[in-house]
Each structure stands twice: as structure tokens, then as C-alpha cells.
């Protein structure tokens, strides 16, 4: 069984990568991990991903722009410096 975060992302939107100004592509499976090693449920986070020449920047409304470092148990998100500046006052998501 797979759990998916509540954000529904659009295939038609194409955010621009803050590092290289390339269009990012939607990945419905995005990032996936198990909450605990013994957990059978897979957590997923759909996101947009820049894959230009190995770029690892991702975007989703809940986390803004970030890079993922895969640690042994769970992914670790590192915020992209200087780009997550505005949040929606109603929803709390990054613009």
C-alpha cells in the first residue's frame, strides 16, 4: 500500500529550476521512503524535478525548492538558498 501526501500537482505546470533556469518535470511518484525500516507502507511525495545535467533540485508546494539527500532511513530535504521567499497566507504553501 502506498500513502501519498495530500498535495495534487498538475502535469501542465512547469516550474523553473532556480539553478539553471530549465523547466522542471512532474514526477507522480517523486520521492518515496518507509517511515520506519519495519513499516510496510511506502510514503510518497510527488514533486517536480530538474534533471538537467544531473541537477537534483525538486519543487513541491509544501516544501518549496529543495534538494534531497538520501539517508539510510528517510530522505533529508535541504532548502535551496534564496528562492523560497513567499508563502500563500491562506494555504501555507510556497509560491
Q: What is the pLDDT of residues 15-37, one digit of tens each?
A: 899 999 999 999 988 888 887 77
Mean pLDDT of 64-81: 85
Residue 41 lies in a domain: yes
The parent domain of residue 20 ranges over: 2-79
What is the four-CA torsion angle of 23, 75, 7, 22, rounded to 10 degrees? 0
Count Cα neighbours of 22 within 13 Å in the Cβ-side half-sphere.
15
82 falls in which pLDDT band (50, 70, 90)? confident
Residue 19 lies in a domain: yes
- Reported pTM: 0.76
> How much is the pLDDT for 73?
74
Share of the chain above pLDDT 70, in %: 87
Mean pLDDT of 53-82: 87
Phi, then psi, of 4 in degrees rounded to 5: -125, 140
Phi, then psi, of 53 in degrees rounded to 5: 45, 45
Residue 20 lies in a domain: yes
Phi, then psi, of 58 in degrees rounded to 5: -130, 165
Contact by Cβ (8 Å): 21, 83: no
Residue 95 lies in a domain: no
By residue count, the chain amounts to: 95
Q: Which residues contact 16 (CB under 8 A, 6 or more apart)?
A: 22, 23, 24
Q: Per-residue pLDDT for 40 more than 60?
A: yes
Amino acid at each position: 500500500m502506498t500513502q501519498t501526501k495530500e498535495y495534487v500537482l498538475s502535469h501542465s505546470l512547469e516550474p523553473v529550476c532556480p539553478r539553471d533556469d530549465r523547466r522542471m518535470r512532474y514526477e507522480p511518484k517523486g520521492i518515496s521512503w518507509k517511515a520506519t525500516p519495519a513499516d510496510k507502507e511506502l510514503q510518497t511525495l510527488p514533486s517536480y524535478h530538474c534533471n538537467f545535467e544531473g541537477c537534483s533540485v525538486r519543487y513541491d508546494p509544501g516544501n518549496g525548492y529543495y534538494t534531497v539527500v538520501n539517508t539510510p532511513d528517510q530522505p533529508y530535504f535541504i532548502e535551496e538558498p534564496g528562492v523560497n521567499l513567499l508563502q500563500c497566507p491562506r494555504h501555507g504553501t510556497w509560491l
